[in-house]
Structure 1
Amino acid sequence: MSAGFVPPPYPYERLEEIIAIANRHEGGAVDLSIGTPCDPTPPAVRAALCADESSRGYPPSIGTTAFRAAAAGWLARRLGASVDPGREIAACVGTKEFVASLPQYLRLRDPSRDTVLYPAISYPTYAMGATLAASRAVPYFSVADISADDARRALCLWVNSPANPTGRIEDLEHAADWGRERGVPVISDECYAEFTWSGAPDTILRTGTHGVLALHSLSKRDNFAGARIGFYAGDAELVHYLREVRKHAGLMAAGPVQAAAIVALGDDAHVDEQRSRYLLRVQRLSRLLGELGYLAPMPDGAFYLWVEAPGGDAWQAARRLAEQIGIVVSPGEFYGAHSAGYFRVAAVQPDDRIALAEARAGA
Structure 2
Amino acid sequence: MRFELPPYPYDLLDPYRLTATQHDGGVVDLSVGTPCDPPPQEAIRALTESESKRGYPPSIGSQEFRKSCQQWVKRCFDVDLDFERHIASCIGTKEFVVSAPTYLRLRTPDKDTVLYPEISYPSYAMGAHLSGCRAVPVKVDGKGELILEELEPDDIERSLMLWVNYPSNPTGAIADLNAIADWGRSHDVPIFSDECYAEFVWGREPSTVLTSGLSGVVAVHSLSKRSNLAGIRAGFYAGDEDLVHWLKEVRKHSGKMVPGPVQAAASIAYSDDQHVEEQKLRYRNRLEFLQSCLKSLDIESELPQGSFYLWVHSGSIDAWDLVDRLASEVGALVAPGTFFGSSNHIRIAAVQPLEILELISERLSP
Instruction: State the TM-score, normalized to the length of structure 2.
Output: 0.96
3-state SS in 1 of match to 2:312: strand
- What is residue 109 of structure 1 aligned with on the other side? 107
Aligned partners of 1:166 and 1:362: how far apart in 2?
A: 29
RMSD over aligned Cα, in angstroms? 1.1
- What is residue 344 of structure 1 aligned with on the other side? 347
Match for 1:289 among 281, 291, 294? Answer: 294
TM superposition outliers: structure 1 runs of 4+ over 4 Å = none
Aligned partners of 1:256 and 1:268: how far apart in 2?
A: 21
Aligned partners of 1:272 and 1:116: how far apart in 2?
A: 34
In the TM superposition, what is the alpha-carbon distance from 1:282 to its structure 2 partner? 0.8
- What is residue 58 of structure 1 aligned with on the other side? 56
Aligned partners of 1:72 and 1:312: how far apart in 2?
A: 47
- What is residue 362 of structure 1 aligned with on the other side? 365
Work out whether residues 98 and 124 of structure 2, in 8 Å CA contact, stay in contact via their aligned partners in 1: yes
Write the mapping of 1:211-290 to structure 2, written as runs, cut at 5 A.
211-290=216-295
Aligned partners of 2:176 and 2:308: how far apart in 1?
A: 19
Give yes or no for the alignment of 1:20 onto 2:18. yes
In the TM superposition, what is the alpha-carbon distance from 1:55 to its structure 2 partner? 4.7
Render the CA deviation track for 1:136-187: whole Å, top value 9, x for unaligned: 0000121121121111100001110000000000110111001001111000
Identity %: 53
Give yes or no for the alignment of 1:320 onto 2:325. yes
In the TM superposition, what is the alpha-carbon distance from 1:230 to its structure 2 partner? 0.3
Flag structure 2 segments of 5+ consecutive residues without an equivalent: 140-146
Flag structure 1 segments of 5+ consecutive residues without an equivalent: none
Match for 1:158 among 158, 163, 173? Answer: 163
- What is residue 145 of structure 1 aligned with on the other side? 150
Render the CA deviation track for 1:263-298: whole Å, top value 9, x for unaligned: 100111111111111111111111111221111100
3-state SS in 1 of match to 2:32: coil
Q: Which amino acid aligns with 2:314?
A: A
Work out whether residues 54 and 259 of structure 2, in 8 Å CA contact, stay in contact via their aligned partners in 1: no
3-state SS in 1 of match to 2:224: coil
Aligned partners of 1:150 and 1:198: how far apart in 2?
A: 37
Work out whether residues 83 and 209 of structure 1, in 8 Å CA contact, stay in contact via their aligned partners in 2: no
Match for 2:78 among 67, 77, 80? Answer: 80
Aligned partners of 2:92 and 2:163: how far apart in 1?
A: 17
Aligned partners of 2:28 and 2:174: how far apart in 1?
A: 28
Deviates most, 192-201 or 227-236: 192-201
Work out whether residues 73 and 79 of structure 2, in 8 Å CA contact, stay in contact via their aligned partners in 1: yes
Give yes or no for the alignment of 1:133 onto 2:136. no
Aligned partners of 2:209 and 2:101: how far apart in 1?
A: 20
Aligned partners of 2:352 and 2:44: how far apart in 1?
A: 21
Work out whether residues 168 and 301 of structure 1, in 8 Å CA contact, stay in contact via their aligned partners in 2: yes
- What is residue 142 of structure 2 aligned with on the other side? none
In the TM superposition, what is the alpha-carbon distance from 1:114 to its structure 2 partner? 0.4
- What is residue 5 of structure 1 aligned with on the other side? 3
- What is residue 38 of structure 1 aligned with on the other side? 36
Aligned partners of 2:176 and 2:337: how far apart in 1?
A: 23
Q: Which amino acid aligns with 1:140?
A: V
- What is residue 303 of structure 2 aligned with on the other side? 298
The count of corresponding residues between Structure 1 and Structure 2 is 359
3-state SS in 1 of match to 2:218: strand
Aligned partners of 2:181 and 2:300: how far apart in 1?
A: 33
Aligned partners of 1:197 and 1:318: how far apart in 2?
A: 28
Aligned partners of 1:197 and 1:290: how far apart in 2?
A: 22
Aligned partners of 2:299 and 2:10: how far apart in 1?
A: 22
- What is residue 335 of structure 1 aligned with on the other side? 340
In the TM superposition, what is the alpha-carbon distance from 1:82 to its structure 2 partner? 1.4
Instruction: State the TM-score, normalized to the length of structure 1.
Output: 0.97
